[in-house]
Amino acid sequence: MSVTAPLARLGRAVLGALATTGRVAIFALDTVSHMVRPPFYGREFLLAVLQIGWLSLPVVGLTALFTGAALALQIYAGGARFNAESVVPSIVAIGMTRELGPVLGGLMVAARVASSIAAEIGTMKVTEQIDALVTLSTNPMKYLAAPRVLAATLTVPVLVAVGDSIGIMGGWLVGVNRLGFNSATYLRNTAEFLEAWDVGSGLAKGAVFGFIVALMGCYHGMHSGRGAMGVGAATKSAVVGASVLILAANYLLTEVFFSA
């Protein structure tokens, strides 16, 4: 084996990653351009809002409830080491709204929605339904990708807001019933220390994460390989890609929002 073989493999991997990044970027720009140019497919958009937003509420709500509850226990246990148990309400609220609400909500939506979009569009591709759309004078990007990406960008912040509220409620339930907090004091501390930007930054993250989730689902679905294996691989790539991008975007957005 040549001594340069590992370098060649590394080079191919880097070039492949750059090419994929470029393709995703072009796909994203194309999708956005179709979101703002008529014709608009209102029925497809409303169906996507239902699928992505409404039907994701149970999973996002349950995730937030248990996360808020666990967070309260952890902060109480950690805070007890330096007599700071009273920070539980404010830290739960800030932690949920700034970080855990949007990130866990985004990841749960990625698991549920990116996979379903990729599987649906991938199946449409392998059964020639995408080709059929084109022959029926309908642009697949406009009909399939734009409504889903727009719906996810608009509905995931709403899911995050609901998740934040439920998460804080989870912390309150544990705080009052397990940790001995006074209910009114807990709620007052939550409200006093929570700033509008804590919530706003989380909702902004939610919009970005929603865009990423639907974009990954559509991109990998549209580029699905043939047969069941192709659709399966597209589904897996959509979930993995969306999850990794959400975590990376979360770090970048946190730097932008709070680095000062």
The least distance separating another protein from the CB of residue 191, rounded to whole angstroms, comes to: 44
d(CA 109, CA 188): 31
The least distance separating another protein from the CB of residue 128, rounded to whole angstroms, comes to: 4
Residue whose tokens read 């920070």: 87
Amino acid at 100: L
From candidates 138, 179, 193, 225, binder to another protein by CB under 8 A? 138
Contacts of 212 (CB under 8 A, 6+ apart): 106, 110, 242, 245, 246, 249
Burial class of residue 172, CB neighbours in 10 A (0-12, 13-18, 19+): buried
- Minimum CB distance to another protein smaller for 41 or for 193: 41
Task: Compose the 96-125 pattern: x for residues touching another protein by CB under 8 A, - for all others.
Answer: ---------------------------xx-
Q: What is the DSSP letter of 226?
A: S
Task: Compose the 231-260 pattern: x for residues touching another protein by CB under 8 A, - for all others.
Answer: ------------------------------
Q: Is 195 in the site for another protein (CB under 8 A)?
A: no
Residue 94 in contact with residue 198, Cβ under 8 Å? Answer: yes
Buried b (16+ CB within 10 A) or exposed e, 105-137: bbbbbbbbbbbbbbbbbbbbbbeeebeebeeee
- Minimum CB distance to another protein smaller for 32 or for 126: 126
Task: Compose the 35-54 pattern: x for residues touching another protein by CB under 8 A, - for all others.
Answer: ----x-x-------------
The least distance separating another protein from the CB of residue 129, rounded to whole angstroms, comes to: 5
The least distance separating another protein from the CB of residue 135, rounded to whole angstroms, comes to: 5
Residue 45 in contact with residue 214, Cβ under 8 Å? Answer: no
- Minimum CB distance to another protein smaller for 6 or for 39: 39
d(CA 140, CA 133): 6
From candidates 137, 184, 196, 259, binder to another protein by CB under 8 A? 137
Residue numbers at the binding site for another protein (CB under 8 A)? 39, 41, 123-124, 127-129, 131-132, 134-138
